Amino acid sequence: MSDLGSNIGPSSTRRRIATAVAAVGVVLVASQLARVWPRDVEVAYALDPSITEIDVDYLQEGKAVASARFKRLEAKTTVVRHTVRLQPGRYQAQITVYRASGPGVEHTRVLLVPTQGLTRFELKEATNGSR
C-alpha cells in the first residue's frame, strides 16, 4: 500500500532548505543595498538679509553629484529648505553666496549622509572666505 498524499520525505526537506537559503540570501543582499541606496536628506540654509542668491554643489571625492540654486524672492525669507537625494557617505557642500553688490563668496561645509532630521548651514555670519 502506498501513500501518495504524503509531502514528508527527502524532496520536501530539500525544498525547505532551499527556501531557507534563498531567504537568507535575500536578507544579505537587501542589507548590502541598504548601505548604498540613495536617501532623501533635508538641508536648510539660514540666510543673512543681504544674501540674494546661493548656489550649492554637493561634492563627493571632488566630483559634483548634485546641485541646487536658490534666489530669494522675498526679503523676509531667512531660511531656504530643500531635499536632496544622496547615497550614504561624506560630502562637501560648496556654497557660493551672492549679495546685491560684489562678487560671490564661496563657503564649504561638510554633509554626512545618512543623517537624522534636518541639516542646517548657517550663512548669516558668513561674509568672507570659507569656514
Tell me if residue 117 falls in helix, strand or coil: coil
CA 49-55-60 angle, to 5 degrees, is 135
What value does the CA radius of gyration of the chain take, rounded to a whole number of Å? 26
Alpha helices, DSSP H, located in the chain: 10-36
Report pLDDT digits (tens) over 33-42.
666 678 899 9
Name the region of 48 (left: φ>0; alpha: ψ -120 to 50; beta: rest).
Answer: beta
Report pLDDT digits (tens) over 50-92.
888 999 999 999 999 999 999 876 777 788 999 999 989 999 9
For the question of whether the overall pTM of this predicted structure is more than 0.85, the answer is: no
Alpha-carbon distance 14 to 9, whole Å? Answer: 9
Is the domain covering 39-122 a CATH 3.40.50.300 domain? no
